[in-house]
């Protein structure tokens, strides 16, 4: 099969012919129809993610169909349309048993990071990681489920508990995850303040329902939040960027008893909040790490029901997958850009 292979951190991906994957016990092989590069892929290629498999076929936001079943696979058939859950977990630790698989104490790794992923014509994944693609949802649209939609849905609805009437700030609102978060927050009934650094992409956030858009390169977004809310601040701030330029401003944007949720992070970023504010204003600062399987299925339902529009700004054949990943790395993509392998 054809695949894009990373041989050395920081180097371009190499288009090669490699052996087709073979399923082990409990595995399936998928024909990959679409794959969405994201910032995790950028981090992996740059060599900034621990214990990465090298050589490696990247890609974890995969949509495909089952073409081969390993021994002991039950409940799935050849031809089923599916997306795989990224985390390869033990299923037995206390976190796995309680629906918090991303905190698995015996995590084997991630698809597309520690085992080969979907920048290829075929990929092998554990059958227990599969989620069905809802009827009527295309393979291309389904690539937004594994991360772009589900990560925002968990952070906004699950971790922050956004309610109707809340003001929510989304920092990094025009990235692959944030742009879907704008829509999710509106479905929850919140007023959305979208913060990004590109005016053209902010126009798209406005069209998708953002009540206020702020270019963080041109103005202090914490001041804009306070002006917009009449000095109250926002009940929720979603940090999809979390660099030295945004963290303190996110903290300063909070309303009394507000919640700051870190979803994306930058290596080495830090801030020094006043501990008194946690007592006097009862601030809550927390994190949100990807999703569990149930939340992934909920995200699939939201997409199928039309609650969220998948934002896909471009497609590339497998042969040009390096261009797609570079566009993501350079923040030139609104929503998702897809790699589409072609099959005989």
pLDDT at residue 50, as a whole number:
86
Q: What is the pLDDT of residues 299-344, one digit of tens each?
A: 999 999 999 999 999 999 999 999 999 999 998 899 999 999 976 5
- Are 265 and 321 found together in one domain? no
pLDDT at residue 217, as a whole number:
94
- Are 127 and 160 found together in one domain? no
Q: How far is CA 117 from CA 41, 58, 121, 193, in A?
A: 10, 5, 10, 35
- Are 17 and 111 found together in one domain? yes
* CATH code at position 239: 3.90.180.10
Which stretches of the chain score pLDDT less than 70?
A: 267-268, 343-344
Q: Is residue 292 part of a domain?
A: no
Q: Three-class SS string for 122-180? A: EEEEEHHHEEECCCCCCHHHHCCHHHHHHHHHHHHHHHCCCCCCCEEEEECCCCCCHHH
- Are 130 and 161 found together in one domain? no
- Are 131 and 224 found together in one domain? no
- Are 20 and 89 found together in one domain? yes
pLDDT at residue 73, as a whole number:
97
Q: Is residue 204 part of a domain?
A: yes
If one counts the domains in the chain, the total is: 2
Model's pTM, two decimal places? 0.93
pLDDT at residue 331, as a whole number:
87
Q: For residue 165, what are the domain limits?
A: 151-287
pLDDT at residue 267, as a whole number:
67
- Are 28 and 133 found together in one domain? yes
Q: Is residue 295 part of a domain?
A: no
- Are 114 and 194 found together in one domain? no
Q: Is residue 296 part of a domain?
A: no
As a 3-state breakdown, the chain gives helix, strand, coil percent values, each rounded to 5, of 30, 25, 45
Q: Are 199 and 116 in contact (CB under 8 A)?
A: no
Q: How many other C-beta atoms are found inside a 10 Å radius of the C-beta of residue 77?
A: 9
Give the burial class of 111: count Cβ atoms within 10 A of its Cβ; 0-12 exposed, 13-18 middle, 19 or more buried.
buried
pLDDT at residue 189, as a whole number:
97
Q: Is residue 302 part of a domain?
A: no
Q: Is residue 297 part of a domain?
A: no
């Amino acid at each position: 099969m054809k695949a894009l292979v990373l041989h050395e951190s920081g180097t371009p991906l190499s288009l090669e012919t490699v052996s087709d994957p073979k399923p082990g016990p409990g595995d399936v092989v998928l024909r990959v129809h679409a794959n969405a590069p994201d910032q995790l892929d950028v981090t992996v290629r740059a060599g900034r993610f621990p214990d990465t498999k090298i050589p490696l076929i990247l890609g974890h936001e995969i949509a495909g169909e089952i073409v081969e079943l390993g021994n002991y696979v039950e409940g799935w058939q050849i031809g089923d349309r599916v997306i795989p859950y990224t985390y390869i977990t033990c299923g037995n630790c206390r976190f796995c048993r309680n629906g918090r698989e991303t905190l698995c104490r015996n995590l084997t790794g991630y698809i597309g990071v520690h085992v080969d992923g979907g920048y290829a014509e075929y990929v092998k994944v554990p059958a227990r990681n599969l989620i069905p693609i809802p009827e009527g949802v295309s393979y291309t649209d389904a690539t937004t489920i594994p991360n772009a939609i589900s990560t925002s849905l968990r952070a906004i609805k699950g971790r922050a508990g956004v309610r109707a009437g809340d003001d929510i700030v989304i920092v990094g609102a025009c990235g692959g995850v944030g742009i879907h978060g704008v829509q999710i927050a509106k479905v929850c009934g919140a007023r959305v303040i979208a913060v990004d650094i590109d005016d053209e992409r902010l126009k798209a956030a406005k069209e998708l329902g953002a009540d206020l858009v702020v270019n963080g390169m041109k103005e202090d977004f914490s001041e804009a939040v306070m002006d917009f809310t009449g000095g109250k601040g926002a009940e929720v701030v979603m940090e999809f960027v979390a660099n030295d330029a945004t963290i303190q401003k996110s903290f300063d944007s909070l309303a009394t008893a507000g919640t700051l949720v870190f979803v994306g992070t930058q290596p080495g970023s830090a801030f020094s909040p006043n501990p008194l504010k946690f007592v006097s204003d009862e601030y809550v600062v927390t994190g949100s790490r990807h999703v569990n399987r149930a939340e992934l299925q909920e995200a699939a339902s939201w997409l199928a029901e039309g609650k969220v529009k998948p934002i896909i700004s471009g497609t590339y054949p497998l042969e040009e997958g390096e261009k797609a990943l570079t566009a993501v790395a350079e923040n030139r993509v609104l929503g998702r850009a897809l790699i589409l392998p072609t099959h005989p």
